[in-house]
Amino acid sequence: MDASYSGIGIGFTHGHDNRLMNCIVYNAQAEGIAITGDHNLLDNCHAYCDEEIKGQADGTDHYIPICGNRNVIRNCSLERVGPLEHIGHGLGFKGHANHNLVEHCTAVNLAGGGFYVRWRGVHHNRFVNCRAIGSPDKKTNDATGFLVREGAHNNLFESCVADGCEAAVRTLHGGEDTSRIAAKDNTFSNCTSMNSNVVFDLNSYLDPTPIVVNNRFVSCTIYNADLLLNLARKNEGCTFVNSIIMKVRRLSIGSEKSNVGFEYTDFFQNGFPAIKGRMNVSCDPHFVEAKKGNFSLKKASKC
C-alpha cells in the first residue's frame, strides 16, 4: 500500500467475477470500496465518512471508485457527513471503464461529484435511477450531483435526480488527462434537477481551455434553481430537448458564449423569457405536486 495514499476499506485489485454484498465501510481515508477489474457485482454496500483531522482534509477521498468493464453496482449508498474539509468523490469511474451499470444508488453531500465519470477512457457507462442529494445545511452546501470531466464521453444518465445540490451537473478539466475536451456526447435522459443552485455548470476548473461538446438533456425536468447555465467554459452543440424548465431565476452567467440549444421545451415561471427555438412553449406543465418532488403530469398538461 502506498503510504502517501493509504487507508482503503475494501479493495479488489485486478479482480474479476467477484461478488461483494451487504458491506459497510466507515471512515476509510483514501478509498472506501475500490474495484479494479471486470464483471464484478457490488450490491447493497455503503461507504460513509464523518471525521477528519482539522486542517488536514484527510476524510475519505474516493468513496466507491471503479476501474474496469462490465461491472454492476446496485442499491449502494455513500455519504460525506457534515461540512468536512475534504470534498469527497462519490461513486464513479476513472481511468479506463466501459459498459458498466450503476443503478438504484444514492450519494449525499459529495462536492467532488456524487456520481462521476472522468478521463477519456471512461465511456459507454450507464447510471439508472441514481439520486444525488445536497447537504441539508444550505450555508455549507457544496455538493455536485453528477460530474463529467477530462474527456469522459458517451455515458448515459437515465432517470437520475439531483436534489438540493450546489450544481446538478458539472463539467470540468483538472489536467489529469491529455484530452482537450472536458465532456463529450454524454446524455441525461428523463433526469430531474430540483432545488439546486446551478443546473448545468460548465466550470472553468482547473484547465479552462478544453471544451464541452454535444452533451444532451432529453426529457428532463428542471425545477427551482437559481441559475440554468454557468458558461465558464467554451461549449458546442449542447442541447435541451423535450424538457420542462420551471422556476429558474437566471438563465446564465459567465464569460463564454452560449452555444446551448433548446427545442420542444417548456419554459414556465422563470426569471427570463422562453428561449427561442424549434417548438419551444411557455405554459403551465401541471405537475401533480412539484414541491414534494412529484413531477408526474396531470391530464390537463400540454407537455
pLDDT value of position 139: 85
Whole-angstrom distance, CA of residue 212 vs CA of residue 237: 8
Whether 50 is covered by a domain: the verdict is no
pTM score, whole prediction: 0.97
pLDDT value of position 2: 44
Say how many C-beta atoms besides its own lie within 10 A of residue 256's C-beta.
18
In terms of residue numbers, what domain contains 268?
Answer: 86-297
The one-digit pLDDT tens for each residue of the chain (303 residues) are: 344 578 899 999 899 999 999 999 999 999 999 999 999 999 999 999 998 888 787 899 999 999 999 999 999 999 999 999 999 999 999 999 999 999 999 999 999 999 999 999 999 999 999 999 999 888 899 999 999 999 999 999 999 999 999 999 999 999 999 999 999 999 999 999 999 999 999 999 999 999 999 999 999 999 999 999 999 999 999 999 999 999 999 999 999 999 999 999 999 999 999 999 999 999 999 999 999 999 999 999 988
Whether 36 is covered by a domain: the verdict is no
- Cell numbers for 229: 447555465
**Cβ–Cβ under 8 Å, residues 25 and 46:** yes
pLDDT value of position 54: 81
pLDDT value of position 214: 98
CA distances 166 to 38, 110, 197, 246, 256, Å, are 33, 10, 5, 17, 21
Nearest CA-CA partner of 224 in 266, 203, 184, 193: 193
DSSP structure string for the chain:
--GGG--EEEEEES--S-EEES-EEES-SSEEEEEESSS-EEES-EEEE----TTT--S-SEEEEEEEES-EEES-EEEE-SS-SS--EEEEEEEEEES-EEES-EEES-TT-SEEEESTTEES-EEES-EEE--S-TTT---EEEEEETTEES-EEES-EEES-SEEEEEEE-SSS--SEEEES-EEES-EEES-SEEEEEEEEE---SEEES-EEES-EEEEEEEEEEE-S-EES-EEES-EEEEEEEEEESSSPP--EEES-EEES-SSPPPP-TT-B-----EEEGGGTEEEEPTT---
Whether 45 is covered by a domain: the verdict is no
| CATH at 193 | 2.160.20.10
pLDDT value of position 4: 59
pLDDT value of position 96: 97
Whether 162 is covered by a domain: the verdict is yes
Whole-angstrom distance, CA of residue 180 vs CA of residue 209: 7
**Cβ–Cβ under 8 Å, residues 112 and 146:** no
Single-letter residue type at 171: T
- Cell numbers for 196: 439546486
Say how many C-beta atoms besides its own lie within 10 A of residue 86's C-beta.
17
CA distances 289 to 282, 284, 292, 295, Å, are 19, 13, 6, 6
Whether 15 is covered by a domain: the verdict is no
Whether 46 is covered by a domain: the verdict is no
pLDDT value of position 118: 97
Q: Structurally, how many domains does the chain consist of?
A: 1
Whether 40 is covered by a domain: the verdict is no
CA angle 282, 244, 105 (to 5 degrees): 170
Whether 52 is covered by a domain: the verdict is no
